[in-house]
Amino acid sequence: MVTMSDVAKAAGVSRATVSYALRGDPRIAAATAEKIRQAAQKLHYNANISARSLRSGRSGIIGVAIYELDRPYPSEMSAAMSREIARRGYQPIVQQTSGSKDDEIMILQKVTSQLCDGMIFSPGQVSDEELRALSHGKPMVLLDDISPDPVFDSVNTACEDGSAAAVRHLIDIGCKHVVVVGPSYDMLLDDKMASSVVGRRMTGCLRAFEEAGVDVDASNFLPLEHWDPIPAREAAYRLLDSDDYRDADGVFCMTDTIAISFMRGLADRGVRVPDDIALVGFDGVTESEYAVPSLTTVRTDLDDLARRTLDLLIDRINANVGGVGIDAAGDAGDNAGDGLAFPDAPQRLTAAWELVKRESTRR
């Protein structure tokens, strides 16, 4: 391994000078800096991240921790985040939380919060308060976190407006009995109605029903225990087999993956989409465009999502630099939260989206 000392020796200067020069400190003479850069280049020098991180607390890495890397939406989102992180001059790393709480904690404790200058996290089981403790004062932006009393910045998908648009579209094309696949009707009574993704998407649906003058009951909702392909496919059988849903002619599935699996379930029974049942999904994954029939969906603009997320995160990272530098009196990060020179209130943004109309609702 070639270290800073090697570069210093090659350039005939001290280690300190190398450090300054490579980091672009203006105090170093241009000629010296150039000489040092060339020496570094020739030796294929690369700063040791562990050493830098140990000494300065900064690594140049931004971490993305996400649930289920093997599903289309999370993986396309991670890819978009990775690209945007790289574009901002940071190194992206992605981690899979697999949905278990221990896993999420482990990842944050062991890797992300230690190694990363900032984190992008899609919280599953861990509460905001726990996250605060796990973040070690490092900046973090949450995805689709709607907790009533937010601790971190977050960027959300357009749950309400998007879902409302989906249901409205089904009604517009003439559906008389629209069924929403995902939530249970009982959800209405749940106190998480306003603070969870499913609750907010359901709220959007209800708004659309109401605006269209449609009375809603349990037969407008087909609950899904897990938002996975197999239960979603079987949900289609349930819909077809139950008297409650027999005249259903329009279905809104809360994710594209559910929609595509549901569509497969309909195909298993020979039900035609959109002729017999029209179908709308949510997310706008690539797969939705290539399905047969292609899927109408509420597409989240992932590039916009990534851009907004990194705007927030990098602002916080830069703010932290100023803060940490003066931070001689221990880790004030926590207790000074409501004080002066400290971060403003958590922001909450929504990513751009659009309803993409395709064959599954073409009538």
Partner DNA sequence: TTGTAGGCGTTATCAC
Partner DNA sequence: GTGATAACGCCTACAA
Please say which residue, 164 or 351, places its beta carbon nearer to its own copies.
351
DSSP code of 13? S
Please say which residue, 270 or 330, places its beta carbon nearer to DNA.
330
User: Around Cβ 253, how many Cβ atoms within 10 Å?
Assistant: 30
Residue of 152, 249, 151, 166 whose CA lies nearest to 204: 166
Residue 69 touches its own copies, criterion: CB under 8 A: yes
Contact (Cβ atoms closer than 8 angstroms) between residue 359 and residue 293: yes
- 266: tokens are 């309909």
List 155's β-bridge partners, or say none: 143, 349
Q: Given candidates 9, 43, 47, 192, which one binds DNA under the rule CB under 7 A?
A: 47
Contact (Cβ atoms closer than 8 angstroms) between residue 216 and residue 207: no
Window of 44-52, 72-80, 289-297, 352-360 that interacts with DNA by CB under 7 A: 44-52
Task: Please state the closest distance from residue 60 (CB atom) to DNA, in A.
Answer: 9
Contact string 80-99 vs its own copies (x = CB under 8 A): x-xx--x----xxxxxx-x-
Cα(250)–Cα(243) distance, integer angstroms: 16
Cα(152)–Cα(145) distance, integer angstroms: 9
Please say which residue, 25 or 129, places its beta carbon nearer to DNA.
25
Please say which residue, 99 or 174, places its beta carbon nearer to its own copies.
99
Q: Which among its own copies, DNA, none contacts residue 229 (Cβ within 5 to 8 A by kind)?
A: its own copies
Within 258-297, the residues that bind its own copies by CB under 8 A are 260-261, 263-264, 267, 286-287, 289-292, 294
Judging by DSSP bridges, how do beta strands 118-121 and 61-66 pair with one another? parallel
DSSP code of 331? -
Q: Which helix (H) or strand (E) holds 177?
A: none
CB-based contacts of 114, cutoff 8 Å, min separation 6:
136
Task: Please state the closest distance from residue 149 (CB atom) to its own copies, in A.
Answer: 23
Q: Which amino acid is at 31?
A: A
Within 130-169, the residues that bind DNA by CB under 7 A are none
Residue 329 touches DNA, criterion: CB under 7 A: no
Q: Given candidates 3, 19, 114, 184, which one binds its own copies under the rule CB under 8 A?
A: 114
- 17: tokens are 């000078």
Q: Which among DNA, its own copies, none contacts residue 16 (Cβ within 5 to 8 A by kind)?
A: DNA
Residues engaged in binding its own copies (CB under 8 A): 1, 44, 46, 48-51, 53-54, 59-61, 68-72, 75-76, 78-80, 82-83, 86, 91-96, 98, 103, 106-107, 109-111, 114-115, 133, 136, 229, 233, 260-261, 263-264, 267, 286-287, 289-292, 294, 331
